[in-house]
Chains A and B, each alone.
Chain A
Amino acid sequence: MAEQQETRERWGMVVDLDLCTGCNACVTACAMENNIPWVGEEEAGYGRNMFWIRVQRTWEGEYPEVSPAYQPVMCQQCGRAPCEPVCPVFATVHSEEEQINLQVYNRCIGTRYCANNCPYTARSFNWYDYTYQIPAPMNYYLNPNVTVRRRGVMEKCTFCVQRIRAGQEQAKAAGRTLQDGEVIPACAQACPADAIIFGDLSDPESRVSKAARSQRGTTLLEELGTQPKVTYLKGGGYYGG
């Protein structure tokens, strides 16, 4: 069977903060998809949660005009990622193919340099064998498409690369190219407000490209020159109304 012509996607994400309600469904969805272990109350108190995506809540103003701002933050899949050059064993590498940052678990030796260098604190470290402590039969729901990480390994959001691969594979097997919206990460799939849009930024007509061009668009800490692939659309009713 003839393979389709190689296409090169540039995966990106847009988070509409005006639609985001802060409900944390994305956090749970991500955990259930990516075999992310829970760490328990005490470990969570030490800040050792394994979230690949977290919803940051900040307060603005004074009572009674005080208002929360919610922002889901995951790995921004930087074009020039600060985590990559500091890894001594090349476990944190850039994917030329998918234009995302990869974490190769079997290479990682747990120096945690990458986490220290990440301006978004998007990386989490397996301080213990959290996943292997899941009591049977609860381990039955672990996703076979995602590696179960061991102690001493760094991990982070992958843009659900297993879903990207599965989508590409499916399209190839059917002899066609990927359609916009065919690959969705778990967070965007679950988001009840549909505030997370995922897709191919190299296609100007894709939903994510159109959303990323919005006037409300901004990227996190862009002054660092990290070239993030995640665009946030400002909320709070600063427009229209």
Chain B
Amino acid sequence: MSDTISRRNFLKLSGLSAAAAVLTGCGPAARYVTRRPYYEMPEYAVLGESTYFATTCIECPAGCGLIMRTFEGRAIKAEGNPAHPVNHGKLCSRGLTGVQGLYNPDRIQRPGKRARRGNPTLEPLDWDTALGVVREALNGAGAGVAFYLGLAPDHLYDLVLELTQAIGAPPPVRFGALGMFEARATLVEAVRQVFGEARFPYFDLAGADVVVSFGANFLETWLSPVAYTRGFSQFRRTDGKKRGYLISFEARRSLTSGVADEWLPVPPGTEGQVALALGSLLQSRGWKVPLGAGQVDVEASAAAAGISMERLEQLADRIARAEHPLFLPGGQALAHAGGLVAARNILLLNLAAGNMGRPGGIFLSPSRPDSGSLRDVQALIEQMRAGKVETLFIHGANPVFELPPALGFTEALANVPRVISFASFPDETALQSDYVLPDHTPLESWGYQRTLAGSDRMIFSSLQPVVVPLYDTRATADVLLSAGKLPYNDEVTFLQSKLATLLNEPGVTVEATEIATFWARYLQAGGWWTQQAGLTTPTNQPDLQVEMAQGAAAPEGQFRLITYPTHLGDGSGANRPWLQETPSPSTTVMWNTWVEVHPQLAEKLGLKDDDVVRVTSPSGSIEAVVYLFPAIRPDTVAIPFGQGHTALGRWAEGRGANPAVLLGAQLNEAGDLAYGDVLVTLSPTGRRRPLSRLESRAGVYGEH
């Protein structure tokens, strides 16, 4: 009986609530929506039509041109700028999800002060007080002020450089995970040694017919992935020319090696030896390779790299037959103890091929690279540890997450009395800062960005706000200028004074004789660049010789570790849900960290797909999920970088693991992290955690 009653009561109640839902849900409030039209309609606005703004993507340091579609004051979609010399209207996943950064619900919305570092709550601060803090910090002893900036070659770097000079502080340290994985300092140093100028090289893939990549993942993250993918597309096309042939030396079949015509899985660290062996073989085919005095043992090099002599001879034949062979020194080949030698060897092969400044060859970017090495970061950490840094300003980087903990950045931070972060998102570094003075996100900002590595010409790419800033944030340039140390009123004055040097430059897209017109056209076009392609032709032919590089096999029971950045970039992409959901191209895994293990190795260790495994290096250990990856050397394992956040908002936090823990602090000769020399062991934990992957779905609804 009581059953019936409760059931009836339930029915009655649900009936009532349904009626209530119907009554409230169908009112005019549900059917009609209030529209608040403009108070005064801007001249450019057309009712019901989108408005497009040209700006620049600064999700990574490459600087692709964007055309942002906006609608009624909201940013809707990022599209490439078809006229921009870097990306010609194309974009990568990171750039496309820029709006998920702008509209991220976890953004820092107003300036704040932290009572205790590590405490996630920020006490709100008004901007006047915040500016007072900055002014006080900059008025103090100049030498006690330090700046840590991201890799973007933007106006903020130029401004901070001037500022540090004005107050007598050391120049800003620039570093980022992408630069770390590309071993940028090694690349630039090798270019300096071979060509005499410290510059970023630009490789003209489009004009080459055989490209030999030494661990350069140029289709995914290397230097300027969209520009290089475009170049690759030209290289592969057969309209009136031969199809380009890509040879890749890399221990793991990355996206780039995946589309290579020949993939040679050499042990990490032997790339320099391969270059040497190739050089020797090419010399016997009539090339002028500056071989060292000592006898080059081609067979020993080939054996170390695990390539048969026959195969190597075939490769040398193919390269010798090519009209425009091109050799790319990628991060995987450079981030070793012998990385600088490897980089030099590879560049010397380009020199021997006569690639300097010819189509399908190598050019040098006219802008100074100004990027720091890990050695500079180490020096800063030393200063911090010694208590010599009173105020540390951090912008555009997340060193607490990106740097290997073995460097001791976080511990050294404890000795810095005042840490001021300009982060837009509550990342790990902002969490360890005393003050967070949020900058506008890129889509709300003014600025320019010089292009360093992805274009055949000189570019000042423009940034302009495509929407009104959402929150009570302020441009970092304005915050720094408010201290009155530099003769500029605000950010735009600074930008215009810098751009004024471009007035009346010959052969430019934006031609104007005074700055107001220049500024308007510059913003509309998406930047300033020369009409004609033109980069510096490297000429210097120093008395350098191809040398034997180091490289050794991993001891039994230990495996070489490859850590590589994905479309999450330097890890800042982890708070974009659509970047998390976009599958990793070669594994199709989403939303997590995995360890790529060759099936043979997995069998030997008794590991299966989805097993949780503990990866231990001398520096630390992490847990991640095993992914059986058929295209990796069985003595090598790989872990993608970018996950494992302990902060950075709801989509990033507590997801996956951060392989930076494993990387240690060994540097190579050029001051880059020798992360390629890290050895790890794997031990099963006995637990399993299925990875979400797309591949289980193709065909039928998956079994997971």
Contact = CB atoms under 8 A, between A and B. Distances in A.
A and B touch in the complex (CB under 8 A): yes
Contacts of A66: 253, 630-631
Interface stretch (B233-241, B335-343, B456-464, B490-498): B233-241
B97 interface: yes
B582 A28 contact: yes
Contact of A42 (B579, B598, B692, B700): B692
B585 A57 contact: yes
B226 to A, nearest CB: 5
Max chain B CB contacts within 10 Å: which of A19, A31, A68? Answer: A68
B230 to A, nearest CB: 6
Contact of A70 (B75, B256, B258, B592): B258
A38 B253 contact: no
A49 interface: yes
Nearest to A63: B630
A22 B585 contact: yes
Interface stretch (B85-93, B346-354, B508-516): B85-93
B103 A141 contact: yes
Nearest to A39: B581
Interface in B241-267: 242-243, 245, 253, 255-256, 258-259, 261, 263-265
A144 B586 contact: no
A192 B103 contact: no
B520 interface: no
Contact of B71 (A29, A42, A59, A144): A144
A138 interface: yes
Given A24-B567, A47-B696, A138-B100, A63 B631 contact: yes
B103 A140 contact: yes
B302 to A, nearest CB: 15
A241 B210 CA distance: 10
Given A41-B592, A189-B89, A18 B236 contact: yes
A140 B74 contact: yes
Interface string B310-338: 00000000000000000000000000000
Contact of A25 (B93, B253, B696): B93
Interface string A93-134: 000000000000000000000000000010000000000000
A137 B470 contact: yes
Contacts of B577: 38, 40
Given A47-B702, A241-B243, A194 B692 contact: no
B265 A192 contact: no
Contact of A59 (B225, B592, B630): B630
Interface string A133-161: 00111111111100000000000000000
A87 interface: no
Contacts of A29: 91, 93, 96
Nearest to A120: B698
Given A57-B585, A191-B90, A241-B245, A19 B76 contact: no
B112 to A, nearest CB: 19
A193 B702 contact: no
Nearest to B104: A138
B599 to A, nearest CB: 8
Contacts of A135: 105
Contacts of A179: none
A190 B581 contact: no
B631 A68 contact: yes
Nearest to A241: B243
Interface string A55-81: 111010011101110100000000000
A195 B233 contact: yes
A28 B75 contact: no
B80 A19 contact: no
B103 A22 contact: no
A44 interface: yes
A143 B77 contact: yes
B309 interface: no
B219 A23 contact: yes
Contact of B90 (A22, A190, A237): A190
A240 B242 contact: yes
Given A67-B258, A70-B585, A192 B579 contact: no
A194 B230 contact: yes
Contact of A28 (B578, B694, B704): B578
B487 interface: no
Q: DSSP majority for the A interface?
A: loop
A190 B692 contact: no
Contacts of A140: 74-75, 99, 103
A220 to B, nearest CB: 12
Nearest to A59: B630
Interface in B289-308: none
Contact of B582 (A24, A39, A186, A193): A24
B579 A28 contact: yes
B136 interface: no
A135 B423 CA distance: 21
A147 to B, nearest CB: 15
B37 interface: no
A21 B229 contact: yes
A27 interface: yes
Contacts of B578: 28, 31-32, 38
Contact of B697 (A47, A136, A193): A47
A22 B253 contact: no
A64 B78 CA distance: 39
B583 to A, nearest CB: 6
Contact of A56 (B78, B587, B698): B698
A47 B592 CA distance: 15
B79 interface: yes
A207 to B, nearest CB: 12
A33 interface: yes
Interface in B562-597: 567, 577-583, 585-588, 590-592
Contact of B105 (A121, A138, A143): A138
Given A70-B585, A241-B243, A25 B91 contact: yes
Contact of B99 (A32, A41, A59): A32
Given A57-B586, A189-B80, A192-B230, A25 B96 contact: yes
B694 A49 contact: yes
A234 interface: no
Contacts of A144: 71, 76
B90 A41 contact: no
Nearest to B307: A64
A111 to B, nearest CB: 15
B627 to A, nearest CB: 12
Contacts of B226: 192
Interface centre among B80, B598, B630 (most CB of A within 10 A): B630
Contacts of B696: 47
23 contacts: A21-B219, A21-B259, A22-B255, A27-B582, A29-B93, A33-B77, A38-B578, A38-B581, A40-B577, A41-B592, A44-B590, A47-B702, A59-B631, A66-B631, A142-B76, A144-B71, A192-B225, A193-B233, A194-B233, A237-B245, A239-B238, A241-B243, A241-B261
Given A23-B229, A57-B695, A193-B229, 4 more contacts: A32-B97, A41-B591, A54-B698, A141-B99
A-B complex: 6 closest residue pairs judged by Cβ atoms: A41-B591, A192-B229, A47-B697, A45-B692, A44-B692, A47-B702
